[in-house]
Structure 1
């Protein structure tokens, strides 16, 4: 108990010493209101060839990773007004994979699976033992009402084996949504949404992180943020990572078979692509080039990228890619299968677009998943037209084809909207057809009617007004209508709900003047 608090005090001193690329003007008042996390993480067991009698390893051909850590959060007073805090422990969704039944969970879990969990202990508030309770994926902690506090705990993470964003193989451990994170408290109260099997069922606000990770010699760390320290002691390596104004902290631990391709955008952002020995050399280089080019394109088109680093990391998983601030996970097949080259370039561009739509401009990914996914599809197609026109033409054809697909029409006739929350979708097919394809096609059709520059102006304003904040669909609609000078309600009802045909044409007027900073 006391050790956790002493570590927290030490790290509070570290916070005052770390310099980053953010000036005061970039964050203003919001920075003082953020949660600040400090995490120490040590890998006690990482994948390796299993020795005789290792039990669970025989089912997967590798040892199940085990990590221990301490977690500390400096919490501002506005979050403590009702005398309690809630912390998401998403890894506990995989505590008993037998309880995760149905075809949707089957896709997430895959054929090779092992349960995992995160255990917490020694929870303190301001250095004193605290009352707390763990209920599934949520930790509740009693805190002093209405004043800032420091919450600390120890945790043990048993990494599950599955087909998702928190898993591992023989050479890497990818830790997406693995660390404890405070729940959002919005106008409706605390948001304690469970881990749904469809979409990205997470909702978080920007925070600052200081992370220290210790791994065995030969292992490396890719993480959200930028490295401030790397040192070797005996047979261990210690990394320190700092991140400001990010919605989550994700990391991937990789062994010595991984290699790094490194470059910079014209704007000076360092881009690293993590590939594995034996990957076809031309494919990782193509993905790396797409990452550099797309990051620079979105930086110039929408708003400056506010972080110094961007990492693209080869992992497993059934997903094509998975976005986190400053780091994206990309399916390993794109690094080694020439037939998947075009899809890989598209995926990298899509996940890079998420650095703006979800990352810089946040949204409630549980209740409004379309807001980041449809925008990311639109932005991906816009970039591909500028850099990879052949791939763009194919994507555009498929986008419209899927948007008008009989299944898409059927789901809309049953009342399922592009604007639906993740838990309303019965399967991944419905989710993809509506949220990605129909939503993306709607925005692309709007661009076709009003012009690219008008859309760029609108999205620049949207990015500027809501940078490092949480936006809503109504916010986006308000900006679009203001910039385009058109009532878009009928247009989006046709595309999102499938009502109000025939297909509406937008008659844009002169843009309505909106003073800087006005919503």
Structure 2
């Protein structure tokens, strides 16, 4: 007979298999376990489990610092034969079979984040917004799914930078356009949605956008204060949207609570204050191009692209004109130099430096053409 008890949990689950292997680590005194299968390649399977373990451990530490301390002594990540996503439970998340390459670097601005990593961090977020702070998930999905979606993007933003592919900027603001048609309000209950795509767009995207709206209106410090207060006040309790709005009203006295309430009730919510200015978009796309060029340089070595990559990280690029050329060759060279200068300036905002070989000393020069 096995006697199992759990305190301060909303539901209970256990998953068992004689085929499980485990890797573990401790973070902030919490034991984090990653249970996984050997899916035909023992080394690959272990690396996958360790990668998910690392991200989940980082997320637990991050959310504890930003929102409130994870209140349990242990947390489990379990690879299973679940299909179609991942699932949260108190102190445990259920993942599907891992299929990503653990040797890839997924942190770049151009990188595609595998679902296994993003999904795991999302389910970790539910330990705060579902497991500890509860709500009526059927009637007010905004409080658990929208907030967890935002928390996930917030984690990636802080871990990998503002322009990370899974961060708040890219996920919620970069492609922000007004709806042509009215949609259901964000505070709608689950039964009002007629398709998964509608639910996903409104709850996981628009709902999460409300939290970015709140953050930009009140500032980072007050935003985190609101979430910490909400977590502390409703820890191991059930909260409502009205409860969350009351916390906003308490901490911020600039009538932001009314704006957020209107956003949740709106059928065509479109926060114009979150539209990204064109100049900032240009900075973002230039950063994307810089990262692409740097990755190309690592793979393929010296090329015009790799030279541009060096210029984008601040290195000077010199064009050295040989003096021993015929008049015909000089004319062609001048045309080439003019073309290169215009191209680098227009595409990358890089000023190429042109020197005659007899005037060139070579000091403090990193890149020479």
Q: TM-score, normalised by structure 1?
A: 0.47
Whole-angstrom distance in 1 between the partners of 2:175 and 2:191: 21
Aligned to 2:52: 287
Alignment of 1:366 with 2:138, yes or no, is yes
SS at match of 2:199: helix
Alignment of 1:259 with 2:259, yes or no, is no
Root mean square deviation of aligned Cα: 2.6
| Native 8 Å contact 2:113 2:166 kept in 1 | no
SS at match of 1:299: helix
Q: Show the 5 A alignment for 1:282-431.
A: 282-334=47-99, 342-389=114-161, 392-396=164-168, 397-400=170-173, 404=177, 406=179, 410=181, 413-414=182-183, 416-431=184-199
Whole-angstrom distance in 1 between the partners of 2:261 and 2:268: 9
Whole-angstrom distance in 1 between the partners of 2:176 and 2:148: 16
Alignment of 1:243 with 2:6, yes or no, is yes
Whole-angstrom distance in 2 between the partners of 1:294 and 1:391: 19
Whole-angstrom distance in 2 between the partners of 1:468 and 1:320: 26
Distance 1:334 1:417, change over 3 A: farther
Whole-angstrom distance in 1 between the partners of 2:113 and 2:268: 38
Total equivalences in the alignment: 261
Aligned to 2:203: 435
Alignment of 1:277 with 2:277, yes or no, is no
Deviation at 1:464, TM superposition (A): 0.7
Q: Show the 5 A alignment for 1:140-159.
A: none
Distance 1:344 1:496, change over 3 A: farther
Query: Which of 1 and 2 has greater Rg?
Result: 2
Alignment of 1:268 with 2:29, yes or no, is yes
Deviation at 1:402, TM superposition (A): 6.8
SS at match of 1:272: strand
SS at match of 1:243: coil
Whole-angstrom distance in 1 between the partners of 2:16 and 2:213: 41
Aligned to 1:450: 218
Deviation at 1:400, TM superposition (A): 3.3
Distance 1:381 1:394, change over 3 A: closer
Deviation at 1:393, TM superposition (A): 3.9
How far does the alpha carbon of each residue in 1:328-373 deviate from its partner, in whole angstroms, 9 at most, with x for none? Answer: 0112135668697533221111111100100100000111111111
Whole-angstrom distance in 2 between the partners of 1:379 and 1:303: 13
Whole-angstrom distance in 1 between the partners of 2:147 and 2:166: 18
Aligned to 1:222: none
Deviation at 1:390, TM superposition (A): 7.5
Deviation at 1:473, TM superposition (A): 0.5
Aligned to 1:494: 263
How far does the alpha carbon of each residue in 1:88-141 deviate from its partner, in whole angstroms, 9 at most, with x for none? Answer: xxxxxxxxxxxxxxxxxxxxxxxxxxxxxxxxxxxxxxxxxxxxxxxxxxxxxx
Distance 1:359 1:394, change over 3 A: closer
Whole-angstrom distance in 2 between the partners of 1:341 and 1:353: 17
Deviation at 1:255, TM superposition (A): 2.6
Task: Please state which structure has a larger fraction of its residues in strand.
Answer: 1
| Native 8 Å contact 1:272 1:288 kept in 2 | yes
SS at match of 1:418: coil
Whole-angstrom distance in 2 between the partners of 1:471 and 1:321: 24
Distance 1:249 1:419, change over 3 A: same
Aligned to 1:472: 240
Deviation at 1:375, TM superposition (A): 0.9
SS at match of 1:260: strand
Structure 2 spans left out of the alignment, 5+ residues? 107-111, 275-369
